[in-house]
């Protein structure tokens, strides 16, 4: 039964996304206003979260909201599932997500990525990608938008320890902003090594912010330790 519910949600996701093709056309005719594009993106993401609840029985709970800085900040989160790439659009209005350029191959979704705009990085371009990452992150923060990055670079199995890729240390140093670590256990329910989505409650934990000014290696060590400790403590019972 859970497999059937998961398949029904996949169908809903395709249909729901298709409904936004006319929205793209309307926004394009209006000059693709960034606020309008981001508003539509949030509505799309919230619809998906509702669909997950109704069809799959998958919800989420948030802890530690008091740790969220009052100013735009750098958000670092572990990456276990497609879920968080969608949910953060609803959890943090106007967030600028650092995403891989390969996502531009997805119809409709790619248009929203470009026009929001998100920070799209070609990971094969080396130092050029890092420079683009820093510059566009600085621009987003100047506009009052927090920046979200998944420092692991790709989705990881729930059994794998958290290990950051290169680049986030430099971003931390250049932005000179508080960093909000966010720990998720989404991979237990919708992960790269699961054949279908499972019912349950995803834990979203906002951890103690890390202030700017630390040496890069110390920042990485501290952020990884915070996320890893929370990852190990939030092992759920999965349906």
The model's pLDDT over 148-204, given as tens digits with 9 standing for 90+, comes to 999 998 899 888 999 998 789 999 999 999 999 999 999 999 988 788 899 999 999
Helix ranges restricted to H, 52-158: 83-91, 109-115, 127-142
All structural domains of the chain, each given as residue ranges with its CATH number in brackets, are 2-233 (3.40.1130)
Between the CA of residue 57 and those of 8, 9, 53, 134, what are the distances in Å?
A: 12, 10, 4, 39
Query: Of the candidates 143, 142, 152, which has an alpha carbon nearest to the alpha carbon of residue 181?
Result: 152
Q: What average pLDDT does range 222-228 have in this prediction?
A: 96
The model's pLDDT over 194-213, given as tens digits with 9 standing for 90+, comes to 888 999 999 999 999 999 99
Res 237 pLDDT > 70? no
Q: What average pLDDT does range 55-69 have in this prediction?
A: 96
Quickly tell me which residue has 């609803």 as its tokens. 90
What's residue 106's pLDDT? 73
- Mean pLDDT value across the chain: 90
More confidently predicted of 23 and 215: 215
Close Cβ partners of 39 (under 8 Å, ≥ 6 residues apart): none
168, 180 in Cβ contact below 8 A?
no
């Amino acid at each position: 039964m859970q497999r059937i519910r998961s398949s029904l949600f996949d169908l809903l996701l395709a249909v729901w996304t298709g409904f936004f093709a006319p929205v793209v056309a309307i926004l394009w005719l209006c000059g693709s206003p960034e606020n309008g594009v981001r508003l539509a993106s949030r509505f799309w993401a919230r619809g998906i979260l509702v669909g997950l609840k109704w069809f799959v029985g998958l919800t989420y709970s948030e802890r530690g909201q008091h740790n969220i800085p009052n100013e735009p900040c750098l958000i670092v989160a572990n990456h276990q599932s497609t879920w968080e790439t969608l949910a953060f659009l609803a959890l943090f209005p106007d967030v600028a997500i650092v995403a891989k350029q390969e996502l531009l191959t997805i119809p409709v979704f790619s248009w929203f990525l470009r026009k929001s705009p998100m920070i799209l990085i070609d990971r094969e371009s080396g130092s050029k990608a890092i420079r683009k990452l820093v510059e566009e992150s600085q621009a987003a923060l100047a506009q009052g938008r927090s920046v979200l990055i998944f420092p692991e670079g790709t989705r990881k199995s729930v059994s794998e320890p958290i290990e950051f890729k290169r680049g986030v240390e430099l971003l931390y140093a250049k932005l000179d902003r508080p960093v909000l670590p966010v720990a998720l256990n989404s991979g237990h329910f919708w992960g790269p090594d699961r054949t279908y989505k499972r019912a349950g409650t995803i834990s979203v934990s906002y951890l103690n912010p890390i202030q700017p000014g630390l040496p890069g290696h110390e920042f990485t060590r501290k952020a990884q330790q915070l996320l890893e400790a929370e990852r190990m403590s939030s092992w759920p019972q999965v349906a």
